[in-house]
Amino acid sequence: MKQAHIALTVNGEAIEVAFDSYKTLLEVLREDLNLCGTKHGCELGECGACAVLLDGQPVLSCLVLGVECADRHVTTVEGLAADGRLHPLQETFADLGAAQCGYCTPAFLVTAKALLDEHPNPTRDQIREALSGVLCRCTGYQQIFEAVEAAIPTATSEAESLRSRPRESEAAGASGGGAPREIKE
């Protein structure tokens, strides 16, 4: 099998990698770079579970060849947390029930990050639109929308109240982190 050898930046780290030249970015990430956080549900561009950021834009890594990624920047779920702190989206996804089985979660997180990077204050409809390429079978999406909204930096009041709650990283063992939202009784 002919091997390809490329240099690229993954999660901020400049690396080189050699792999079978037919491999998709998804396979290179999972099999050659041991970055198993990126998932797959079809490997045909249908489910969106394999989304990663390529130069900041969400792409389906099962449809991108590894060799196309030379000299480019790839961000995966493993690259979201920084300085020992989870990304705000990771905090809100964890607190608000946006990850049930968690299998689609890496794709939703990176796609939502791309959205917030571009539109710091998206509407619910813009969120729906931006995330529409990723399927989730567990949540019914509503808690995912709420988690994205809660992570908006400019803050709705709900997000504000959410952020003022103790975080896992700050208050270790505070009864399981944020209590985000009252269920109507």
What is the nearest approach in angstroms of other proteins to the Cβ of residue 70?
22
Q: Is 136 in the site for ligand FES (CB under 6 A)?
A: yes
Q: Is the dihedral of CA 125, 130, 135, 139 positive or negative?
A: negative
Q: Are 91 and 151 in contact (CB under 8 A)?
A: yes
What is the nearest approach in angstroms of ligand FES to the Cβ of residue 160?
26
Helices (H), the chain: 25-27, 88-95, 105-118, 124-131, 142-150, 157-163
Q: Which does 50 bind (CB under 5 to 8 A by kind): other proteins, ligand FES, none?
A: ligand FES
> Of 49, 114, 42, 53, whose CA–CA distance to 78 is shortest?
53
Q: Is the Cβ of residue 129 or residue 170 nearer to ligand FES in the bound state?
A: 129
What residues between 25 and 54 interact with ligand FES by CB under 6 A? Answer: 40-43, 45-50
What is the nearest approach in angstroms of ligand FES to the Cβ of residue 154?
27
What residues between 111 and 150 interact with other proteins by CB under 8 A? Answer: 127-129, 131-132, 134-145
Taking the C-alpha atoms of residue 2 and residue 19, their distance in angstroms, rounded to an integer, is 8
Instruction: Please return the burial class of 172, using the count of CB atoms within 10 Å of its CB with bins 0-12, 13-18 and 19+.
Output: exposed
Would you give the binding string for other proteins spanning residues 3-42, x where CB under 8 A is met? -------------------x-------xx--x-xxxxxxx
Give 47-58 as a DSSP string.
Answer: S-TTEEEETTEE
Please give the residue ranges that form the binding site for ligand FES (CB under 6 A).
40-43, 45-50, 60, 62, 99-104, 136-139
